[in-house]
Amino acid sequence: MLGIPLYKQIINDILEKIFDGTLRPGDRIPSEHELSSTYMVSSITSKNALAELADKGYIIRKKGKGSFVNSLENLMAIPSFSNTSTYRSAFHSKTIGLILPSMKTGIDQQLLNAIEEEISKTDYLLTLTITRENQEKESAAIEKLKLQGASGLIIFPTEHELYNESILKLNIEKYPFVLVDRWLRGIRTNTVMINNYDVTKKATEHLFAKGHRDIVFLSPDSRNTVTEDRLAGFKDCLLEHGITLNPHNTCMIPSGVTDPKEKKELIRDFLNDNPAVNGIICSNKEMATYIIAIFDQDNLWERYGVCAFDYYNHARISYVEQDIAQIAKECIDILLDTIRGDTAPKQVCVPAEFHPV
């Protein structure tokens, strides 16, 4: 380091330790006296080095306690730090962040269990955040996990999501992440999905084969890519049977309706208003739950044929089964490849299985 002022040598050495992770946010920095002894310089020289590090925002000085590495959030506000990829390798905590919209459904619980099992085979730890179907909480979770140094993210987006700017930002930054059960139309990202279009078409065809022609697609009114793909498969099957999609072929529960009793009554009212309907495609387990409650209460099973996503072991319901274990494996494999530097986006489709009754 010939020609470099002594106080700059001290600064460079401390910065190197911050960037390579030897010194992490909150860690104590050697005191002026300790630096003077280590580098054999005057106390003025070591004091100047610490003062410049503090002025640039890399450390904070606490009276009577000493100097400490600043928080990662504050370090990220320093352009010379945040504009490099160094912080990802220096500060990642060997954790994978999993962001789920809820833990209310069997699919959520199965996915968590399967991903945790896959993570346990690696040297990473899993951090779970539940957004409760709130896009703002989802964005906050993404930012928080990034600041905490998560190596990568697995995101099961909120039910009603089309585009979240935080997810788009991850894509631009080339931050390692995988989307589950969604894809961003027109934007290439890592995605693991099922064959929603094909399997919905197959389920609808099954109802036609059983003699049901007035079929309704029952779903939350969430215009995400999953709902759109399932609705497209349903619509195309109707067209192949000479039926143009009409209002009585869809029952979309408004996103503003959150009370289960109100949802059930909306479905019951729809069926009463459309007595010709004799087949139902339930887009998720929640919709199937309401149908079962209505049919049991009103003794309607003989009138309808029912297919549902993810509702197993009911003698009257044909169902679509997702391969959750394979979905979890694909998510982890893709994410680890991305963390290792393979940034080419991958879109994987894990076929679902249709079980007729």
Q: What is the CATH number of the domain that holds 24?
A: 1.10.10.10
Residue 175: which of 213, 202, 142, 207 has the closest Cα?
142
- Which of residues 39, 59, 87 is at a domain's end? 87
Residues 202 and 306 in one domain: yes
- For the chain, report the end-to-end CA distance as a whole number of angstroms: 78
Residue with tokens 């961003």, as numbered in its chain: 184
CATH number for the domain spanning 294: value is 3.40.50.2300
Angstrom distance (rounded) from CA 58 to CA 75: 6
Residues 184 and 200 in one domain: no
- Which of residues 44, 63, 87 is at a domain's end? 87
Residues 79 and 108 in one domain: no
Residue 1 lies in a domain: no
Residue 69 lies in a domain: yes
Residues 214 and 304 in one domain: yes
Residue 128 lies in a domain: yes
Residue with tokens 């009370």, as numbered in its chain: 259
Residue 1: predicted pLDDT: 46
Say if residue 335 is exposed, middle or buried (CB neighbours under 10 Å; 0-12, 13-18, 19+).
Answer: buried
- Which of residues 31, 56, 87 is at a domain's end? 87
Residues 118 and 19 in one domain: no
Q: How far is C-alpha 195 from the geometric centre of its chain's CA atoms? A: 19
The answer to whether 97 and 67 are in contact (CB under 8 A) is no
Residues 206 and 307 in one domain: yes
- pLDDT tens by residue, 280-325: 999 999 999 999 999 999 999 999 999 999 998 899 999 999 999 9
Secondary structure of the chain as H, E, C letters: CCCCCHHHHHHHHHHHHHHCCCCCCCCEECCHHHHHHHHCCCHHHHHHHHHHHHHCCCEEEECCCEEEECCHHHHCCCHHHHCCCHHHHHHCCCEEEEEECCCCCHHHHHHHHHHHHHHCCCCCEEEEEECCCCHHHHHHHHHHHHHCCCCEEEECCCCCCCCCHHHHHHHHHCCCEEEECCCCCCCCCCEEECCHHHHHHHHHHHHHHCCCCCEEEEEECCCCHHHHHHHHHHHHHHHHCCCCCCHHHEEEECCCCCCHHHHHHHHHHHHHHCCCCCEEEECCHHHHHHHHHHHHHHCCCCCCEEEEECCCCCCCEEEEECCHHHHHHHHHHHHHHHHCCCCCCCEEECCCEEECC
Residues 12 and 71 in one domain: yes
Residues 172 and 55 in one domain: no
Residue 23 lies in a domain: yes
Residues 206 and 280 in one domain: yes
Residue with tokens 């030897």, as numbered in its chain: 22
Q: Spell out the per-residue pLDDT of the chain, length 357, in tens.
A: 456 788 999 999 999 888 777 787 788 999 999 999 999 999 999 999 999 999 999 999 998 889 999 887 788 788 877 665 545 444 556 889 999 988 877 788 999 999 999 999 998 999 999 998 888 999 999 988 987 778 899 999 887 656 678 888 898 888 899 999 888 777 889 999 999 999 999 999 999 999 999 999 999 998 788 999 999 999 999 999 999 999 899 999 998 898 999 999 999 999 999 999 999 999 999 999 999 999 999 999 999 999 999 998 899 999 999 999 999 999 999 999 998 888 899 999 999 999 999
Residues 227 and 181 in one domain: no
Residue 63: predicted pLDDT: 86
Residue 88: predicted pLDDT: 46
Say if residue 248 is exposed, middle or buried (CB neighbours under 10 Å; 0-12, 13-18, 19+).
Answer: middle
Angle at which helices 285-298 and 260-273 cross, to 10°: 60
Residue 345 lies in a domain: yes
Residue 2: predicted pLDDT: 52
Residue 324: predicted pLDDT: 96
Residue 336 lies in a domain: yes
Residue 92: predicted pLDDT: 52
Residues 311 and 209 in one domain: yes
Q: How many domains does the chain have?
A: 3
Q: How far is CA 127 from CA 4, 119, 141, 233, in A?
A: 44, 11, 11, 35
Say if residue 315 is exposed, middle or buried (CB neighbours under 10 Å; 0-12, 13-18, 19+).
Answer: exposed
Residue 241 lies in a domain: yes
Residues 202 and 177 in one domain: no
Phi, psi (deg, nearest 5) at residue 119: -60, -35
Indicate the pTM of the whole model.
Answer: 0.74
Residue 37 lies in a domain: yes
CA-based diameter of the chain, in Å?
92
Structural domain boundaries enclosing 11:
6-87
